Chain A
């Protein structure tokens, strides 16, 4: 009996602590309004997306240019170089295939590569099936799932402003988009809640200086 009680207690504790992100954030579930989540920010193959920015990992900063090009349906190239042009990383995303074309030795850590791969994949993935829809403070929130983790896409006036990656009820990573014009976000921020890794990007309009 004592054994059973302990088991019940553990289950009870688990139920209380797990919760879910929507419940913990007072999201009101609504009817599913769209079948797919759309992220337009790196979807135009005619554009060269160039951002000035930096990756901060613990106390180390890697500043430079973040460059993204859509090379075909489901194919992107993501490159990060220093301002002086030296490559820090060069990744190819071909559907589910991921290729490291180049990586600075200092950054060649499996855990870091996997996190960057996941973060960049979130930025470039254009659509996901919608599982549930919520509403809060004039925001439409779409729930989807990737790699067994729940993601929430927050839209205001039809514009994607935030993606939240969760684990259980907890926010793990936040992807912020602002200053959107012509389907390009002027500023992008990636912030990890459980590891000291932050990425901040500012769009550069290269046409202006030609």
Chain B
């Protein structure tokens, strides 16, 4: 029995393993993703958000739609199990909470500004700023996984790391934001549509 368990364990380990990329592989991924990000003028996708809190029995799952228009308009629209919309546009954050609308000038809040920039960059996949992050590159089957650990002391208080998964085409398919406590928010994208005309009306607060 033990003879059987060991190879099975090894297989399980290997099938889930992620190996570090060498410099050439990392550069190639970086270039591909940057090329993708630069060429992306619009993006829409469905998303499933999983909030993991260690003390809960189940993760909290919410679903919605994402819309992005270059250079920096981003709309997250949650539809299930509640309706909530958050729009980042021209330095302002607009919230529509089931019809209850509010807005906030992000200029007065450096954290929100930073978070918004990170959201935009992570949606596009373009977060390869070595000044801002310690970056580690991994291969994960056909996909790539990149870990970004913020260097900014203020940001470190809120986020320990971002883990982004890219498909072989260099598109970001999953973003995981890990808090210092180890709790995390994982956003998985599906039905991605890139560079299809998105009317400005989509981004009306």
Contact = CB atoms under 8 A, between A and B. Distances in A.
Nearest to A102: B181
29 contacts: A46-B57, A48-B57, A48-B60, A54-B97, A63-B84, A63-B95, A65-B51, A67-B60, A69-B57, A79-B53, A83-B78, A83-B82, A83-B84, A84-B49, A84-B86, A85-B49, A85-B51, A85-B185, A86-B185, A87-B183, A90-B181, A101-B181, A202-B82, A204-B82, A205-B81, A206-B81, A208-B81, A209-B80, A210-B61
Contacts of A121: none
Interface in B72-120: 76, 78, 80-82, 84, 86, 95, 97, 102, 115
B177 interface: yes
B2 to A, nearest CB: 37
Interface of A: 46, 48, 50, 52, 54, 61, 63, 65, 67, 69, 71, 77, 79, 81, 83-87, 90, 101-102, 202, 204-206, 208-210
Given A46-B57, A85-B185, A87-B183, 8 more contacts: A50-B60, A63-B84, A81-B51, A83-B78, A83-B84, A84-B185, A101-B181, A102-B181
A52 B177 contact: no
Contacts of A69: 55-57
Taking chain A's interface residues, is the majority helix, strand, or loop, or is none over half, making it mixed?
strand
A209 B60 contact: no
Nearest to A83: B84
B82 A209 contact: no
Taking chain B's interface residues, is the majority helix, strand, or loop, or is none over half, making it mixed?
strand
Contacts, number: 60
B63 interface: yes
B46 interface: no
Nearest to B80: A209
Sort chain B's interface into a size bin: 20 to 34
Contact of B53 (A67, A84, A210): A67
Contacts of B41: none
A47 to B, nearest CB: 8
Contact of B56 (A48, A83, A86, A87): A48
A85 B177 contact: yes
B138 interface: no
Given A61-B102, A63-B97, A206-B81, A83 B181 contact: no
Contacts of A63: 84, 95, 97
Contacts of B179: 87
A46 B57 CA distance: 8
Contacts of A210: 61
Contacts of A202: 82
B18 to A, nearest CB: 23
A136 to B, nearest CB: 34
A71 B54 CA distance: 12
